[in-house]
Chains A and B, each alone.
Chain A
């Protein structure tokens, strides 16, 4: 499965990449903000995206809205420090499929990914 990691922190992308590798996802592309991600989604065609909210140039919520408006259908898990309920609702309305609040454990991120993929498969 092709996974795209969108986060302005290289540290966070590396942590997420290591978790993905541990659970068997090896085809991983990285983007440092929403703009960078938009420029890469057509060529890479991710089947799952993990997206941060607060990023320079283009934030995660704007990226999600733009990706969905352009016809992007792959599941998106938002991985962010934004934990307020209003933010979660805003993200779901924008087209996010699931939500992980930082800090997270490898187990909680893995579980949320598999839950998201199962839900999408069942739909």
Chain B
């Protein structure tokens, strides 16, 4: 994963939160997923990526922050036990992932339908062979994070190196 990938996810998160939630966000310094997280995950929206880039995107919140973010998104205060709560979290991670992958130039990437996990202190196990980065964010309703685990598929990597060799 290179710096431009991180930049894509920061930009897409900013775009989704400002456009759909009217909430400005500030990204903190990214860290590897091995480091101790700043808060316990209570609500996570998960999207898988496949194709030339493989991996996973996890948008995680403390419950109170998720609830306020959803209120900004939908205009309604939705109980975490409602299916609509998970639906809204799923749509947020879907838009963030979709907007980020559009910036992966020359790569054919598909994203899965979102899954949502709700439960105190859960951990989403990222693929062991992919580099995982956590990007912390702050916004007026609280803190949240975006974990991104990515690796370039072997076929895509070969295509890139062949193109580079031809160019040389």
Which residues of B are found within 8 Å of A105, using beta-carbon distances? 19
B49 within 8 A of A: no
Interface SS, B side: helix
Stretch at the interface among B27-35, B82-90, B138-146: B82-90
On chain A, the number of residues with a Cβ less than 8 Å from chain B's Cβ atoms is 22
Which residues of A are found within 8 Å of B98, using beta-carbon distances? 54, 80-83, 102
Are A54 and B113 interface neighbours, CB within 8 A?
Answer: yes
Chain B residue, CB-CB nearest to A59: B113
Which residues of A are found within 8 Å of B108, using beta-carbon distances? 86
A30: shortest Cβ distance to chain B, in Å? 13
12 residue pairs of the A-B complex, CB under 8 angstroms, read A9-B91, A10-B84, A11-B74, A11-B87, A18-B75, A55-B113, A80-B98, A81-B94, A84-B102, A102-B20, A102-B94, A105-B19
Are A54 and B20 interface neighbours, CB within 8 A?
Answer: no
Provide the bound-state CA to CA distance between A55 and B114, in Å: 10
Which residues of B are found within 8 Å of A9, using beta-carbon distances? 87-88, 90-91, 94
Of residues 18 through 41 on chain A, the ones whose CB sits less than 8 Å from some CB of chain B are 18
- Size bracket, chain B contacts: 20 to 34
Provide the bound-state CA to CA distance between A43 and B88, in Å: 29
Contact with B along A4-16 (1 / 0, CB 8 A): 0000111110110
A104 within 8 A of B: yes
Between A18, A86, A103, the greatest number of chain B beta carbons within 10 A of the residue's beta carbon is seen for A103
